[in-house]
Structure formats: C-alpha cells, structure tokens
Chains A and B, each alone.
Chain A
C-alpha cells in the first residue's frame, strides 16, 4: 500500500509538469490544445532514442523539451495562420505526431532498462548521500518498515524540478510578455487594441505549453524505463483532470496559488487512480474511463448546481413579485430594467 502511494506520488509530481502545460494552454490561453497526446510521446521518444544512442540524459531531456516546443508552435501556426479551428489543429498535429514519433523511435517501443537515464543518475547521486537511509529509518521507526521505497532521490529531485518550473511559470506570467499571453486568452479584442499580435502570443503560448508536456514525457519515460508510442493516449484528459481537481480543491485566487493547485491536482489524480485500481472489479484498462468520468463530472456539476440555484432564485423572486403586485412603486425597477435593455 505505502509503496504504491509512494509510486503514485512520485509519478504524480512528474505528470504535474504536463498538467502545468495543460493549464497554460487550456486556462491561460483558453485554447483546448489536443497536441498534448502527441507531444507527450514526442518528448519521451526524443529523450529515449537519444539516451539509447549514448547522449547525456539531461541534455536529451532538454532536446525533448525543444521538440515539444516546436510541436506546440506548429499547432499554433495551423490555427492562427491557417485559420483552422483550435480543436482541429490540435487533433491534426496529434495524428501527425503519431507517425513522427514512430519515425523518431524506429519502432513502437524503446526500452530504457539497464541504460543510464536522468533518473538512475539521480538515484545513484542520492545513494551516496545516505538520505535514503535517513528517510527509511524514519519510516521503520513509525512502523512502515516492511515496504520501503527503493530511492527517495527521484521524489526529492522531482519536487525541486517541478517547483522550479512552477515558479518560472508564475514569474513568466507576470512579465510584459506573460501578461499579453494571459490577456490573449482573456480578451483578444482588447489585447489587439493594445498593440499585441495575438497570433504570435497563441503560437508562443502553445509552444511553451507543449515544451512542458514533452519535458514531462521525457522524464516519465526515464522513470518508467521505456518510451511507447501509445503512452500519450488520453494525456490531455489526464492533464485536464489534474487542472480541474487542483482548482476545485486548492482554489484559484492567484496565479501562484493556481499553479500550486494544478501540481496538487496531478498528484491527487495519480493517488486516486492508484487507489481505484486496487478495487477488485476495476482493471488497469478502466483507468481512462474513470478519468473521463471525473472530468465530465467536474465540468458539468458546477454548471448544473449553478442553474439549479438560479432557477430557485427566480422562482422565489417571482413569488415575491406576485405578492407585491398591488404596490405601484414596485414597478419602477422593472421599467428601469426595460429601458436599459433597450439602449
């Protein structure tokens, strides 16, 4: 039990980077970008093939990020220059990337076992410091000693990396360029009237978003020990689920708060899925269905609750109006409202 939660936490914090990318496109830019399913694999594929061919794993991860950036920019260009619907441009690139990813890898699966990856490098580094022994000592002391994680290094390393990306994102969204990207998602007409090229902002925003997604893909491949051409299926929905869960649980008061919420959402999503899979009648293949249901509920429930409340309010107001119909001065408010809607 502890090991599986630990594992969920560990991969959750890596997927959180992908979720931050989805937050950037979906929420900040208000662009439903389906490129994610493809660019996640592109990141994994580029990193895996470079590592297998002897490249430095950290450098390979950086190259993977650049590949994701390019993929995102292409979606942006198809949408803005080609004036293709946002969803369709994402799907087009997602499909195109499937073939490209196969070409990059040369086959549908590239194993990374027994290869030096960023993750093994981190693990080896932490092995020497003795931190594992320290944490495992604590666990043993509180009675969880029977299933100890193999290394704490990856978790600690990933917490640092993910938080660094979070803070960079926060800072970026406060720069002049970041503000323009946010305004592009918020009110295109307005930002154009303040001399910003909305097309460029969309392309740049999608590039950055998919760079994060590919980065996450590259790390997941190294953590899991393989890159697979099918590993990105449904990634956009997982990202969206993380964003929605995070926002609902931790709030969206400020940018910094929201990005933290998204990371939390990604981790909680992983833990929920891990726990769900321990339920007898659920199989690993059900995971995508569970995810889809979570997202559907999260998307529809708030609106349904809101419209139910609205209805109740209206019924109540109508009842009040009927009671007050005898009082002539009450009509004034309505006449005012009518005038307003005329002008």
Chain B
C-alpha cells in the first residue's frame, strides 16, 4: 500500500500562555494509504477542524510533520499544497465563485495543478469535458454551463463544489462536514454523490462529520477524536459491525463521560 498522508506528532495549541490556553491537537499521528476513506467523528472542540486546517496548510502546527505523497509539506503554503488537495467546506457558498459561471468555476478547478497563463480558460475541448463530468451529478447542470453559480441552490452548489474538488483527481480529498449545512434530502444526495465520486476516481479521503450514521455508512476506516486526541480507531472489519449505539458506548467507556454533542446524538 502506498502512503498518501502521514501526520507525525502534530501538536497545536491555541492562545498559548494565556488563561484561555487550549490544546487543539495533542501529538496526533495518522496515516492514510492510497484509497483509504477515513471518517472522523468527535464532539465540538475535539480538534477535527484544526486537523483539516493543518493538513490543508491554513494553519501551521506548533511541531510535528505533515507528509503528503512522501513529501514533507509542513511549511508549504496553502495555495501550493492545494495542487494535491481537494477540499469541500461546510458552507455551500465557500467552494465556488458566485459571480462566475459554472464553466468558469470548473475551468478554475481544472487548472488547479497547472501553471495559470494567458490561455483561454474555457476552450471547446474543456467545455466538452466539463459537460461530461457535470452529467455524473444528474442535476442537469450540464445544460446550464453559462449560468452564474450564485443562482444555484445550496445543494447544487455543494454538488458542484464536490465535483470541482475531485475531477482533477487530487492526492487527497478533505471533506469538512460538507453535508451539515444542507437539509436532509440534499444532505443525502451529496452523501451519495460523495460515495460515487470517491469510488469513481479511487480518491484517498478524509471526511469530518457530525453525523454518526454517515460516518458509519461511508468509508473503510473511522476515527473518533476528543480533546485533541484520537481516542478510537476502527478498521474496515470492525466498522462494518458497528452501530451508533456502540460508538456512544465506546466513547463513554474510554472517556468516562457521555459524548458532549447534541448534534451528534440527534443526527
């Protein structure tokens, strides 16, 4: 198995030296092999978002290394790292440029790992490719290439974000609660699309979610975080047998308290 992501002793403290000091990540180790689809659950403030931010380069760790595709990228800038990382955010508005058309947004995603020059962004050949990949969403967006993305619904925008993050086949896909801001029907649509797309491109994926059922349904591995630590790692075999009940009990067994997330319980 080829190693895609390797986090070595990642440590990150917020407000160091003040009364508000908070250890967001406490010497985290995590590896993802090629094709791994890991779901991450945990209560609020467990460090899930910080983990995502450190992998994507939005934040730097206090110490520890981030290796991507065998390269140390710990101090690589966010935009340089983005060549290898596909990201979908929680906010459906965050992943697309609203005043630009669907095809222009796709053109931006298309030139992710190329040097941007004075070549035309949307050529005839690329438009055909965009149409083809949009068809895989089954939302009819392929007929609306010239529609401004701001006119799309939240679900449609998130589907487009997902497509844009993935169709150039990044080394790793980071999903940060990307269905949390959608209504249940849309969330299910995006969940299914995620599965489809990850399978299609064999993407190595790390998905943060508040939805335990989603965490169990998707992916081949599961990790549970709390207070900046990974407190539970579940492999493919164990994961298949797991229920929400088991997860909650497991949390209580390890931590001695109930899991502090109403949202996790509700969903």
A residues 182-227 in Cβ contact with B at 8 Å: 182-183, 186-187, 189-198
Task: Tell me the bound Cα distance from A186 to B150 in angstroms.
Answer: 11
Q: Does A283 contact B (CB under 8 A)?
A: no
Produce 1/0 per residue, B98-133, CB < 8 A to A: 111000110111011110111111100000000000
Q: Determine whether the beta carbon of A179 is less than 8 Å from that of B121.
A: yes
Q: Does A180 contact B (CB under 8 A)?
A: yes
Task: Tell me the bound Cα distance from A194 to B81 in angstroms.
Answer: 9
Q: Determine whether the beta carbon of B263 is less than 8 Å from that of A195.
A: no
When A179-B104, A191-B108, A195-B80 are in contact, do A186 and B98 touch as well, CB less than 8 Å? yes
> Of the candidates B56, B112, B122, which one forms a contact with A194 in the assembled complex, judged by CB atoms under 8 Å apart?
B112
Q: Using a Cβ–Cβ cut-off of 8 Å, how many residues does chain B contribute to the interface with A?
A: 42
When A175-B118, A180-B116, A340-B183 are in contact, do A186 and B82 touch as well, CB less than 8 Å? no
Q: Does B78 contact A (CB under 8 A)?
A: yes
Residues of A contacting B100 in the complex (Cβ-Cβ under 8 angstroms)? 179, 182-183, 186
Q: Does B189 contact A (CB under 8 A)?
A: no
B247 CB → nearest A CB, Å = 19
Q: Determine whether the beta carbon of B183 is less than 8 Å from that of A176.
A: no
Q: Determine whether the beta carbon of B120 is less than 8 Å from that of A187.
A: no
Q: Determine whether the beta carbon of A176 is less than 8 Å from that of B79.
A: no
B151 CB → nearest A CB, Å = 13
Residues of A contacting B223 in the complex (Cβ-Cβ under 8 angstroms)? none
Q: Determine whether the beta carbon of A187 is less than 8 Å from that of B78.
A: no
When A176-B111, A196-B79 are in contact, do A191 and B118 touch as well, CB less than 8 Å? no
Q: Determine whether the beta carbon of B117 is less than 8 Å from that of A177.
A: yes
Q: Does A178 contact B (CB under 8 A)?
A: yes
Q: Determine whether the beta carbon of A196 is less than 8 Å from that of B116.
A: yes
Label chain A's interface by main secondary structure: helix
Q: Does B180 contact A (CB under 8 A)?
A: yes
Which stretch in B9-17, B60-68, B87-95, B194-202 binds the other chain? B87-95
When A192-B78, A195-B113, A196-B79 are in contact, do A343 and B181 touch as well, CB less than 8 Å? yes
Residues of A contacting B267 in the complex (Cβ-Cβ under 8 angstroms)? 343
Q: Does A103 contact B (CB under 8 A)?
A: no
Q: Determine whether the beta carbon of B118 is less than 8 Å from that of A190.
A: no
Residues of A contacting B98 in the complex (Cβ-Cβ under 8 angstroms)? 186-187
Q: Does B193 contact A (CB under 8 A)?
A: no
Q: Determine whether the beta carbon of B82 is less than 8 Å from that of A187.
A: no
Residues of B contacting A178 in the complex (Cβ-Cβ under 8 angstroms)? 121
> Of the candidates B105, B119, B164, which one forms a contact with A175 in the assembled complex, judged by CB atoms under 8 Å apart?
B119
A222 CB → nearest B CB, Å = 30
Q: Does B27 contact A (CB under 8 A)?
A: no
B residues 151-191 in Cβ contact with A at 8 Å: 164-165, 180-181, 183
When A172-B118, A179-B121, A183-B97 are in contact, do A193 and B87 touch as well, CB less than 8 Å? yes
When A182-B97, A190-B94, A195-B113 are in contact, do A176 and B107 touch as well, CB less than 8 Å? yes
Q: Determine whether the beta carbon of B87 is less than 8 Å from that of A186.
A: no
Residues of A contacting B109 in the complex (Cβ-Cβ under 8 angstroms)? 194
Residue among A180, A187, A195 facing the most chain B CB atoms (10 A cut-off): A195
When A179-B121, A194-B108, A343-B181 are in contact, do A186 and B97 touch as well, CB less than 8 Å? yes
Task: Tell me the bound Cα distance from A189 to B176 in angstroms.
Answer: 14
Task: Tell me the bound Cα distance from A340 to B82 in angstroms.
Answer: 31
Task: Tell me the bound Cα distance from A343 to B89 in angstroms.
Answer: 15
8 residue pairs from A and B, CB less than 8 Å apart: A176-B121, A177-B117, A178-B121, A180-B108, A187-B96, A192-B78, A193-B95, A193-B165
Query: A176-B121, A180-B116 known; 13 other A-B pairs, CB under 8 Å?
Result: A176-B111, A176-B120, A177-B118, A178-B121, A179-B104, A180-B108, A183-B100, A183-B108, A191-B108, A193-B165, A195-B81, A197-B77, A343-B263
Identify the 3 closest CB pairs spanning chains A and B, nearest first.
A195-B82, A186-B97, A176-B116
